[in-house]
Amino acid sequence: MTEATQAVGAVASSTTSRGIELLGRRYLESLRVRGYAEESLKNKRAFLDRFARWCADRGVEDAGDVTKAMIERYRQWLFYYRKKNGKPMVNRSQYSHVVLVRGLFRWLSQQSVILTNPAAELDMPRVDKTLPRHVLTLREVESLLGQPEVTEPLGLRDRAIMETLYSTGMRRAEVVHLGLHDVSWDRGTILIRQGKGHKDRVVPIGERALGWLRKYVEEVRPRFVVEPDGGILFLNVQGGMLGPKHLSRVVGRYVEQSKLGKVGSCHLLRHTMATLMLENGADVRYIQAILGHVELSTTEVYTHVSIRKLKEVHAATHPGSATRKARPAEAEVSADSLLGALEAEAAEEKTVSDAAADASDEELSP
Protein backbone atom coordinates (compact mmCIF):
# COMPACT_ATOMS: atom_id res chain seq x y z
CA MET A 1 0.00 0.00 0.00
CA THR A 2 1.37 3.45 -0.95
CA GLU A 3 1.87 6.28 1.53
CA ALA A 4 -0.93 8.23 -0.18
CA THR A 5 -3.34 5.30 0.23
CA GLN A 6 -2.34 4.90 3.88
CA ALA A 7 -2.98 8.59 4.44
CA VAL A 8 -6.42 8.39 2.89
CA GLY A 9 -7.29 5.37 5.01
CA ALA A 10 -6.07 7.18 8.10
CA VAL A 11 -8.38 10.09 7.36
CA ALA A 12 -11.39 7.80 7.10
CA SER A 13 -10.60 5.92 10.32
CA SER A 14 -9.48 8.82 12.48
CA THR A 15 -12.31 11.23 11.67
CA THR A 16 -15.31 9.00 10.99
CA SER A 17 -17.74 11.82 11.75
CA ARG A 18 -16.66 13.47 8.51
CA GLY A 19 -15.05 10.56 6.74
CA ILE A 20 -17.14 10.73 3.59
CA GLU A 21 -16.73 14.47 3.29
CA LEU A 22 -12.95 14.36 3.77
CA LEU A 23 -12.52 11.49 1.35
CA GLY A 24 -14.63 13.45 -1.10
CA ARG A 25 -12.07 16.25 -0.83
CA ARG A 26 -9.27 13.79 -1.60
CA TYR A 27 -11.20 12.52 -4.60
CA LEU A 28 -11.69 16.07 -5.90
CA GLU A 29 -7.98 16.73 -5.43
CA SER A 30 -7.25 13.71 -7.63
CA LEU A 31 -9.51 15.24 -10.29
CA ARG A 32 -7.69 18.57 -9.95
CA VAL A 33 -4.38 16.81 -10.63
CA ARG A 34 -5.95 15.28 -13.73
CA GLY A 35 -6.72 18.75 -15.07
CA TYR A 36 -10.35 19.39 -14.14
CA ALA A 37 -11.31 23.09 -14.13
CA GLU A 38 -11.74 24.85 -10.79
CA GLU A 39 -15.31 25.87 -11.58
CA SER A 40 -16.18 22.26 -12.33
CA LEU A 41 -14.53 21.09 -9.11
CA LYS A 42 -16.44 23.68 -7.10
CA ASN A 43 -19.72 22.32 -8.44
CA LYS A 44 -18.70 18.72 -7.85
CA ARG A 45 -17.85 19.58 -4.26
CA ALA A 46 -21.39 20.89 -3.75
CA PHE A 47 -22.77 17.58 -5.02
CA LEU A 48 -20.52 15.47 -2.79
CA ASP A 49 -21.24 17.64 0.23
CA ARG A 50 -24.93 17.03 -0.30
CA PHE A 51 -24.37 13.26 -0.30
CA ALA A 52 -22.12 13.45 2.78
CA ARG A 53 -24.76 15.37 4.75
CA TRP A 54 -27.47 12.98 3.64
CA CYS A 55 -25.40 10.07 4.94
CA ALA A 56 -24.64 11.86 8.22
CA ASP A 57 -28.34 12.50 8.79
CA ARG A 58 -28.78 8.72 8.69
CA GLY A 59 -25.95 7.94 11.05
CA VAL A 60 -23.43 6.83 8.43
CA GLU A 61 -20.10 8.51 9.00
CA ASP A 62 -17.58 6.17 7.39
CA ALA A 63 -17.33 5.53 3.66
CA GLY A 64 -16.83 1.84 4.37
CA ASP A 65 -20.32 1.64 5.88
CA VAL A 66 -22.05 2.81 2.70
CA THR A 67 -23.89 0.00 0.88
CA LYS A 68 -25.44 -0.36 -2.53
CA ALA A 69 -28.89 -0.31 -0.96
CA MET A 70 -28.06 2.96 0.74
CA ILE A 71 -26.95 4.60 -2.51
CA GLU A 72 -30.15 3.34 -4.13
CA ARG A 73 -32.13 5.03 -1.36
CA TYR A 74 -30.17 8.21 -2.00
CA ARG A 75 -31.08 8.00 -5.67
CA GLN A 76 -34.74 7.61 -4.72
CA TRP A 77 -34.42 10.54 -2.32
CA LEU A 78 -33.13 12.70 -5.16
CA PHE A 79 -36.16 11.67 -7.23
CA TYR A 80 -38.60 12.82 -4.54
CA TYR A 81 -36.57 15.85 -3.46
CA ARG A 82 -38.18 19.25 -3.95
CA LYS A 83 -36.30 22.50 -4.30
CA LYS A 84 -37.25 25.71 -2.51
CA ASN A 85 -39.66 26.62 -5.29
CA GLY A 86 -41.43 23.27 -4.90
CA LYS A 87 -40.16 21.86 -8.18
CA PRO A 88 -38.41 18.48 -8.45
CA MET A 89 -34.89 17.91 -9.68
CA VAL A 90 -34.77 17.34 -13.40
CA ASN A 91 -33.51 13.94 -14.50
CA ARG A 92 -30.19 15.33 -15.66
CA SER A 93 -29.58 16.87 -12.24
CA GLN A 94 -30.34 13.57 -10.52
CA TYR A 95 -27.98 11.83 -12.92
CA SER A 96 -25.19 14.34 -12.21
CA HIS A 97 -25.49 13.75 -8.47
CA VAL A 98 -25.45 9.97 -8.71
CA VAL A 99 -22.69 9.73 -11.30
CA LEU A 100 -20.38 11.71 -9.03
CA VAL A 101 -21.12 9.41 -6.08
CA ARG A 102 -20.35 6.47 -8.35
CA GLY A 103 -17.07 8.09 -9.34
CA LEU A 104 -16.13 8.68 -5.70
CA PHE A 105 -16.59 5.05 -4.71
CA ARG A 106 -14.84 3.78 -7.82
CA TRP A 107 -11.84 5.91 -6.82
CA LEU A 108 -12.01 4.73 -3.19
CA SER A 109 -12.01 1.14 -4.41
CA GLN A 110 -9.07 1.75 -6.74
CA GLN A 111 -7.15 3.34 -3.85
CA SER A 112 -7.92 0.33 -1.62
CA VAL A 113 -9.68 2.58 0.89
CA ILE A 114 -12.74 0.30 0.74
CA LEU A 115 -12.79 -3.42 0.06
CA THR A 116 -15.75 -3.44 -2.31
CA ASN A 117 -17.38 -0.79 -4.48
CA PRO A 118 -21.06 -0.41 -3.45
CA ALA A 119 -21.79 1.65 -6.57
CA ALA A 120 -20.31 -0.80 -9.07
CA GLU A 121 -23.65 -2.07 -10.38
CA LEU A 122 -25.76 0.95 -9.61
CA ASP A 123 -28.81 1.67 -11.76
CA MET A 124 -28.41 5.20 -13.08
CA PRO A 125 -31.30 7.67 -13.49
CA ARG A 126 -32.56 8.04 -17.02
CA VAL A 127 -31.51 11.17 -18.85
CA ASP A 128 -33.99 12.44 -21.39
CA LYS A 129 -32.69 13.80 -24.67
CA THR A 130 -34.37 17.12 -25.29
CA LEU A 131 -33.99 19.97 -27.72
CA PRO A 132 -33.68 23.59 -26.59
CA ARG A 133 -37.05 24.79 -25.31
CA HIS A 134 -36.30 28.48 -25.61
CA VAL A 135 -34.67 29.82 -28.76
CA LEU A 136 -35.06 33.39 -29.95
CA THR A 137 -36.23 34.43 -33.38
CA LEU A 138 -34.20 37.00 -35.30
CA ARG A 139 -36.61 39.75 -34.27
CA GLU A 140 -36.51 38.65 -30.63
CA VAL A 141 -32.72 38.53 -30.43
CA GLU A 142 -32.49 42.01 -31.92
CA SER A 143 -34.96 43.21 -29.29
CA LEU A 144 -32.85 41.62 -26.56
CA LEU A 145 -29.63 43.15 -27.85
CA GLY A 146 -31.29 46.55 -27.83
CA GLN A 147 -32.13 46.44 -24.11
CA PRO A 148 -28.91 47.85 -22.57
CA GLU A 149 -28.69 51.62 -22.23
CA VAL A 150 -25.58 52.10 -24.33
CA THR A 151 -25.16 55.73 -23.31
CA GLU A 152 -24.14 54.44 -19.88
CA PRO A 153 -20.80 52.65 -19.29
CA LEU A 154 -22.36 49.46 -17.89
CA GLY A 155 -24.95 49.40 -20.64
CA LEU A 156 -22.28 49.68 -23.32
CA ARG A 157 -20.26 46.93 -21.65
CA ASP A 158 -23.34 44.69 -21.46
CA ARG A 159 -24.20 45.30 -25.11
CA ALA A 160 -20.65 44.31 -26.10
CA ILE A 161 -20.91 41.16 -23.97
CA MET A 162 -24.24 40.08 -25.47
CA GLU A 163 -23.09 40.84 -29.01
CA THR A 164 -20.02 38.69 -28.35
CA LEU A 165 -22.11 35.84 -26.93
CA TYR A 166 -24.52 35.95 -29.85
CA SER A 167 -21.88 36.28 -32.56
CA THR A 168 -19.46 33.63 -31.29
CA GLY A 169 -21.70 31.21 -29.37
CA MET A 170 -19.19 31.15 -26.52
CA ARG A 171 -19.94 29.62 -23.14
CA ARG A 172 -20.23 32.06 -20.25
CA ALA A 173 -17.08 30.70 -18.58
CA GLU A 174 -15.17 31.29 -21.81
CA VAL A 175 -16.41 34.87 -22.09
CA VAL A 176 -15.41 35.90 -18.56
CA HIS A 177 -11.86 34.58 -19.08
CA LEU A 178 -11.26 36.39 -22.37
CA GLY A 179 -8.18 38.59 -22.49
CA LEU A 180 -7.61 41.79 -24.43
CA HIS A 181 -4.97 40.09 -26.57
CA ASP A 182 -7.29 37.21 -27.42
CA VAL A 183 -9.14 39.46 -29.87
CA SER A 184 -7.65 39.71 -33.35
CA TRP A 185 -9.12 42.96 -34.63
CA ASP A 186 -7.66 42.63 -38.12
CA ARG A 187 -8.66 39.00 -38.67
CA GLY A 188 -12.05 39.26 -36.98
CA THR A 189 -11.41 36.28 -34.69
CA ILE A 190 -11.20 35.48 -30.99
CA LEU A 191 -8.86 32.97 -29.39
CA ILE A 192 -10.60 30.98 -26.66
CA ARG A 193 -7.92 29.66 -24.34
CA GLN A 194 -8.50 26.47 -22.38
CA GLY A 195 -12.18 26.14 -23.20
CA LYS A 196 -14.22 23.16 -22.09
CA GLY A 197 -12.01 20.08 -22.11
CA HIS A 198 -8.91 22.32 -21.81
CA LYS A 199 -8.86 22.88 -25.57
CA ASP A 200 -7.98 26.13 -27.30
CA ARG A 201 -9.91 27.18 -30.37
CA VAL A 202 -10.23 30.19 -32.65
CA VAL A 203 -13.72 31.42 -33.55
CA PRO A 204 -14.95 34.12 -35.93
CA ILE A 205 -16.71 37.21 -34.61
CA GLY A 206 -18.97 39.29 -36.85
CA GLU A 207 -18.26 42.86 -37.85
CA ARG A 208 -21.14 44.27 -35.83
CA ALA A 209 -20.11 42.50 -32.63
CA LEU A 210 -16.51 43.51 -33.21
CA GLY A 211 -17.63 47.11 -33.55
CA TRP A 212 -19.43 47.07 -30.21
CA LEU A 213 -16.45 45.33 -28.64
CA ARG A 214 -14.06 47.99 -29.94
CA LYS A 215 -16.34 50.74 -28.64
CA TYR A 216 -16.35 49.14 -25.18
CA VAL A 217 -12.57 48.71 -25.15
CA GLU A 218 -11.92 52.30 -26.21
CA GLU A 219 -14.60 54.12 -24.20
CA VAL A 220 -15.54 52.06 -21.15
CA ARG A 221 -12.84 49.62 -20.17
CA PRO A 222 -10.30 52.38 -19.37
CA ARG A 223 -12.79 53.70 -16.76
CA PHE A 224 -13.04 50.33 -15.03
CA VAL A 225 -9.46 49.09 -15.15
CA VAL A 226 -7.33 49.15 -12.02
CA GLU A 227 -3.55 49.09 -12.33
CA PRO A 228 -1.72 46.84 -12.73
CA ASP A 229 -3.95 45.85 -15.63
CA GLY A 230 -4.35 42.08 -15.69
CA GLY A 231 -5.57 42.14 -19.29
CA ILE A 232 -9.05 40.68 -18.69
CA LEU A 233 -11.37 41.90 -21.44
CA PHE A 234 -14.68 42.33 -19.63
CA LEU A 235 -14.40 44.04 -16.24
CA ASN A 236 -16.78 44.90 -13.43
CA VAL A 237 -16.93 48.42 -12.01
CA GLN A 238 -14.24 47.52 -9.44
CA GLY A 239 -11.85 46.53 -12.22
CA GLY A 240 -12.10 42.80 -11.53
CA MET A 241 -13.17 39.82 -13.59
CA LEU A 242 -16.88 39.14 -13.98
CA GLY A 243 -17.92 35.85 -12.39
CA PRO A 244 -19.95 33.35 -14.44
CA LYS A 245 -22.97 33.65 -12.14
CA HIS A 246 -22.76 37.44 -12.24
CA LEU A 247 -22.71 37.30 -16.03
CA SER A 248 -25.78 35.05 -16.03
CA ARG A 249 -27.63 37.50 -13.81
CA VAL A 250 -26.71 40.41 -16.06
CA VAL A 251 -27.89 38.74 -19.27
CA GLY A 252 -30.89 37.14 -17.57
CA ARG A 253 -32.04 40.55 -16.37
CA TYR A 254 -32.12 41.83 -19.96
CA VAL A 255 -34.01 38.73 -21.11
CA GLU A 256 -36.65 39.42 -18.47
CA GLN A 257 -36.66 43.12 -19.29
CA SER A 258 -37.29 42.40 -22.98
CA LYS A 259 -40.64 40.71 -22.08
CA LEU A 260 -40.33 38.10 -24.81
CA GLY A 261 -42.05 35.42 -22.76
CA LYS A 262 -38.90 33.30 -22.76
CA VAL A 263 -36.40 32.49 -20.04
CA GLY A 264 -32.67 31.99 -20.12
CA SER A 265 -29.39 33.82 -20.08
CA CYS A 266 -26.01 33.28 -21.74
CA HIS A 267 -26.91 29.85 -23.09
CA LEU A 268 -30.04 31.31 -24.68
CA LEU A 269 -27.80 33.32 -26.99
CA ARG A 270 -25.61 30.27 -27.64
CA HIS A 271 -28.69 28.23 -28.58
CA THR A 272 -30.02 31.02 -30.75
CA MET A 273 -26.76 31.49 -32.61
CA ALA A 274 -26.55 27.79 -33.49
CA THR A 275 -30.22 27.48 -34.43
CA LEU A 276 -30.32 30.54 -36.69
CA MET A 277 -27.12 29.50 -38.46
CA LEU A 278 -28.61 26.04 -39.05
CA GLU A 279 -31.78 27.60 -40.43
CA ASN A 280 -29.70 29.76 -42.74
CA GLY A 281 -27.97 26.73 -44.22
CA ALA A 282 -24.74 26.32 -42.26
CA ASP A 283 -23.29 22.81 -42.20
CA VAL A 284 -23.60 21.41 -38.68
CA ARG A 285 -19.91 20.48 -38.73
CA TYR A 286 -18.84 24.12 -38.90
CA ILE A 287 -21.19 25.08 -36.09
CA GLN A 288 -19.74 22.26 -34.00
CA ALA A 289 -16.26 23.64 -34.60
CA ILE A 290 -17.32 27.16 -33.57
CA LEU A 291 -19.13 25.94 -30.45
CA GLY A 292 -16.24 23.73 -29.37
CA HIS A 293 -18.17 20.47 -29.50
CA VAL A 294 -15.71 17.63 -29.92
CA GLU A 295 -17.98 14.65 -29.42
CA LEU A 296 -21.52 14.46 -30.76
CA SER A 297 -23.03 11.96 -33.21
CA THR A 298 -20.08 11.81 -35.58
CA THR A 299 -16.47 10.77 -35.30
CA GLU A 300 -15.09 13.26 -37.80
CA VAL A 301 -12.39 15.50 -36.37
CA TYR A 302 -13.29 19.17 -36.77
CA THR A 303 -10.16 20.67 -35.25
CA HIS A 304 -8.62 20.84 -38.71
CA VAL A 305 -11.36 23.05 -40.15
CA SER A 306 -9.62 26.22 -41.26
CA ILE A 307 -10.53 29.50 -39.59
CA ARG A 308 -10.91 31.02 -43.05
CA LYS A 309 -13.67 28.55 -43.89
CA LEU A 310 -15.32 29.12 -40.53
CA LYS A 311 -15.34 32.87 -41.17
CA GLU A 312 -16.91 32.34 -44.60
CA VAL A 313 -19.67 30.15 -43.16
CA HIS A 314 -20.20 32.55 -40.25
CA ALA A 315 -20.45 35.57 -42.53
CA ALA A 316 -22.88 33.80 -44.85
CA THR A 317 -25.22 32.32 -42.25
CA HIS A 318 -25.05 34.31 -39.01
CA PRO A 319 -27.85 36.93 -39.02
CA GLY A 320 -25.58 39.42 -37.28
CA SER A 321 -22.91 39.04 -39.96
CA ALA A 322 -24.67 38.11 -43.18
CA THR A 323 -24.54 40.55 -46.07
CA ARG A 324 -27.36 38.88 -47.97
CA LYS A 325 -30.85 37.76 -47.10
CA ALA A 326 -30.88 34.57 -45.07
CA ARG A 327 -32.15 31.52 -46.89
CA PRO A 328 -34.03 28.66 -45.26
CA ALA A 329 -32.54 25.20 -45.53
CA GLU A 330 -33.61 21.66 -44.77
CA ALA A 331 -32.65 20.56 -41.29
CA GLU A 332 -30.09 17.80 -41.25
CA VAL A 333 -30.51 14.73 -39.10
CA SER A 334 -27.34 15.57 -37.18
CA ALA A 335 -28.70 19.01 -36.32
CA ASP A 336 -30.83 17.41 -33.60
CA SER A 337 -27.67 16.07 -32.00
CA LEU A 338 -26.13 19.53 -32.01
CA LEU A 339 -29.18 21.21 -30.48
CA GLY A 340 -29.61 18.37 -28.00
CA ALA A 341 -26.03 18.82 -26.86
CA LEU A 342 -26.65 22.52 -26.38
CA GLU A 343 -29.67 21.81 -24.20
CA ALA A 344 -27.63 19.33 -22.17
CA GLU A 345 -24.99 22.02 -21.60
CA ALA A 346 -27.60 24.46 -20.40
CA ALA A 347 -29.16 21.86 -18.10
CA GLU A 348 -25.78 20.96 -16.62
CA GLU A 349 -24.94 24.63 -16.05
CA LYS A 350 -28.26 25.21 -14.27
CA THR A 351 -27.92 21.99 -12.29
CA VAL A 352 -24.56 22.86 -10.78
CA SER A 353 -25.63 26.43 -10.03
CA ASP A 354 -28.78 25.25 -8.25
CA ALA A 355 -26.90 22.60 -6.31
CA ALA A 356 -24.23 25.03 -5.16
CA ALA A 357 -26.87 27.48 -3.97
CA ASP A 358 -28.92 24.78 -2.24
CA ALA A 359 -25.88 23.26 -0.55
CA SER A 360 -24.86 26.59 0.94
CA ASP A 361 -28.11 27.68 2.53
CA GLU A 362 -30.55 24.78 2.59
CA GLU A 363 -31.10 22.22 5.31
CA LEU A 364 -31.66 18.80 3.80
CA SER A 365 -34.71 17.03 5.19
CA PRO A 366 -35.14 13.24 5.43
Active site residues: 171, 196, 267, 270, 293, 302
At residue 253, φ and ψ (nearest 5 deg) are -65, -40
Rounded Cα gap, residues 167 and 181, in angstroms: 18
Distance, in Å, from the CA atom of 307 to the CA atom of 187, rounded to the nearest integer, reads 10
Interatomic CA distance for residues 113 and 6, integer angstroms: 8
Give the other-Cβ count within 10 Å of 295's Cβ. Answer: 9
Output DSSP code: residue 305: S
Residue 232 backbone dihedrals phi, psi, to 5 degrees: -65, 135
CA 149 to chain centroid, in Å, comes to: 28
The burial class, CB within 10 Å (0-12 / 13-18 / 19+), for 222 is exposed
Q: In 82-162, at which residue ranges do the beta strands (DSSP E only) sit?
A: none
Q: Are 338 and 302 in contact (CB under 8 A)?
A: no
* Per-residue DSSP letter, 235: B
Looking at the DSSP bridge assignments, the partners of residue 249 are none
